Amino acid sequence: MRRQLARFAWWPLVFVLRSGCLAAEGNAPEADGATTPIPSWETQRQAAAYVLSVPAPRGQIVDRNGEAFAVNRVSYNLSISFPTPLTFTDPQIREFAWKQAGVARSLTRRPIGFSDDAVVQHYRNRGMIPFDIATDLPANEVESLKNRLPNELVLRPIYVRTYPQGATAGHVIGYTGKTGRLSTKTLQNNEPLWPESEGREGIEQTFDDQLRGKPGQLDLTFDRDGRKTGERITVPPEPGYNVVTTLDLKVQQLAERILQKRAKRGGAIVVLDPNNGEVLALASWPTINPNDFVPSISEQKYAALDKDPTLPLLPRAYRSAYPAGSTFKVIMGVAGFQSKKLDPDDEFDCPSAMQIGNLVFHNWRKSDQGDLTFTQALTQSCNTWFYQLGLKLGADTMVSWAERLGLGKRTGVLLNGEAEGRIPTNDYMQATYHRRFAPGDLANFSIGQGDILISPLQMAQAMATIGNGGTLYQTRIVRQIQTLNNEVVYSYAPRPKDVLHLSPVTMQEIRQGMVGVVSGRGGTAGSASVEGVKVAGKTGTAQWGPKSKERTAAWFAGFAPAESPKYAYAAIYEGAVGEGVHGGTAAAPMIGELLRELFRNDSSAKEKEKAKKPEREEQPNEETPDTMDESD
């Protein structure tokens, strides 16, 4: 698949030397390296030629539709060009430099300053290339200076990374940093004209080799007396490859707006295409603005980010893991039906509490709800019902199906630092607690508590797998790598990692229960409903952290439309210490707002839902979804 990037296409700048300055031209001449011998290296004092490297512009990073996340711009530095041969004494160097600084101050509003030692050192070691006295001039100043500069002052263009979407997908796109400071040592052959950039986070880091491009070559020649006799580009720099992500800019922006409005303390929303494993949105809040890191971030600004209690540097969507809470009851249903240890007509009672071993385990409701089937228990999120299912299934069955759904292990998305999560096994219990699973452990396991940890990305992947009928796709954040001319270099095609072959009974019962959670009597997520669309989802509420600072993770995860899913999703809301929140009141509204916007103009999805047979009616319950709170 080829993604046209014509809207953002640009040809690499070709650098032409004027008065000792690299200037940008629009048309690229042919490289004539075949007729120009490569100069040999000599010491600075006797140099006849230098061969310097011209850093290449990085490739673009774009969304699935070609909307730019990361591009380059040309930044201009105002620089002093020293006359050759380099025969000034130290006092003459300082006098010349400060004279040019005075001229520069009369032409620009930018502050001009440097130390005497710095300019002398530059002249002695690197005087054949310009000395920067003001960096990254505004465009209006560049235009006003272009025809007004004396020969001793030049505008030196360099490539600078920029992120036109600002903070949108900041964690995912990442940022770049300089490979090092501009050297002050004696100029060496093959040195870059300015420090190159390297990826430091996100896609910029993962695909750094593909994005970097190939440096060009600049030749400087001097006569025996040290006068510059020529300077030209013999090999133009080649821009890096473009990275086309699976992200949808509009979905990403929508997810981040919702998080900013509803989850200011922290949260994440992940949206996948369940039919191929592509990530449409991978949103964490708070987020970062990659532009703050280019060309480098100040120590003060980084320290402020690092010490911020809301942890803006943490990509919660894929680098954090939380207790799953009652969202895990969906996985329990899959395990039960697929192992044939649970039938649709099986019933367990739903008391307000039950004793398991020496402990009493409670339901979140205070009254007995009677005998319930799986779909009824999932709709109501009855804890005591699922305790009994967990005891019936046993640890091995629950662990096996959780792992087959991709929980407790990295998805393999091409982003560094992905959280592994955890599905406890008997080996884990033995190593951690010096015992195998006890009945109380199975009860906690069955409602997603205990030692279970799941990342929002893993949760969305599991829901996508269930929603599509059992195909666990490799989760993908990048579609393809391509050249500036839109030629595909590498494509990441959909790839099933496992096929679970979920039975029709499993799918019927899971869908019915999850639809009941959103739109059935007694459901816990009425705020996620969408007119004309059957939304399948499950709320979850779990506590994590030390008792003195215990916090609540509020979940909502699922897929929509229920019968033919177009989106699979997971949302997490991080409650503050002492904040009483639930999946139905904190996370479900976020997904509800997102889905209503996504389906607002999607009449085809609504028509498909209308054509489906109605679900079996749920047993009536005395409470309605709009007034329900879940507390697991």
Q: What is the pLDDT of residues 491-513, one digit of tens each?
A: 999 999 999 999 999 999 999 99
Residues of the chain by 3-state class (helix, strand, coil), percent to 5: 30, 25, 45
Mean pLDDT of 326-331: 98
Average pLDDT across the chain, whole number: 88
Cα 544 to Cα 322: distance, rounded to the nearest angstrom:
7
Residue-level pLDDT at 545: 82
List, for residues 502-559, the tens digit of each pLDDT value.
Answer: 999 999 999 999 999 999 988 999 999 999 999 999 999 998 888 888 899 999 999 9
| Burial class of residue 485, CB neighbours in 10 A (0-12, 13-18, 19+) | exposed
Q: What is the pTM of this model?
A: 0.88
Residue 403 exposed, middle or buried by CB count within 10 Å (0-12, 13-18, 19+): middle
Alpha carbons 173 and 218: distance in angstroms, whole number: 32
332 alpha carbon, distance to own chain's centre = 30
Tell me how far CA of residue 213 lies from CA of 7, 209, 217, 241, 295, in angstroms: 20, 8, 13, 7, 18
**pLDDT in the model for residue 563:** 95
The β-bridge relationship of strands 242-245 and 61-62 is parallel
Domains and CATH numbers, the chain: 6-11+47-245 (3.90.1310.10), 249-304+317-627 (3.40.710.10)
Q: Please, how many CA atoms are within 13 Å of residue 337, restricted to the half-sphere of its CB?
A: 23
Determine the pLDDT at residue 604: 65
Q: Is the pLDDT of residue 613 over 80?
A: no
Of 11-15, 362-366, 472-476, the poorest mean pLDDT is in: 11-15
Considering the chain, what percentage of its residues have pLDDT values greater than 70?
A: 88
Q: How far apart are CA 416 and CA 408, in angstroms?
A: 17
Whether residue 29 is predicted with pLDDT greater than 60 in this model: the reply is no
What are the two backbone dihedrals, phi and then psi, of residue 466, each rounded to the nearest 5 degrees?
-65, -45
State which amino acid sits at residue 75: S
pLDDT of 49 reads 87
Residue 170 structure tokens: 């900041």
* pLDDT digits 0-9 by tens, 553-590: 999 999 999 999 999 999 999 999 888 899 999 999 99
Query: Cβ of 453: how many Cβ atoms within 10 Å?
Result: 22
Mean pLDDT of 224-251: 95
90-107 vs 116-126: helix crossing angle, rounded to 10: 110
Nearest to 513 by CA among 325, 379, 340, 626: 379
Closest CA to 423 of 386, 462, 476: 462
417-462 confidence digits (pLDDT tens):
999 999 999 999 999 999 999 999 999 999 999 999 999 999 999 9
User: Helix crossing, 383-393 with 328-338: angle to 10°?
Assistant: 40
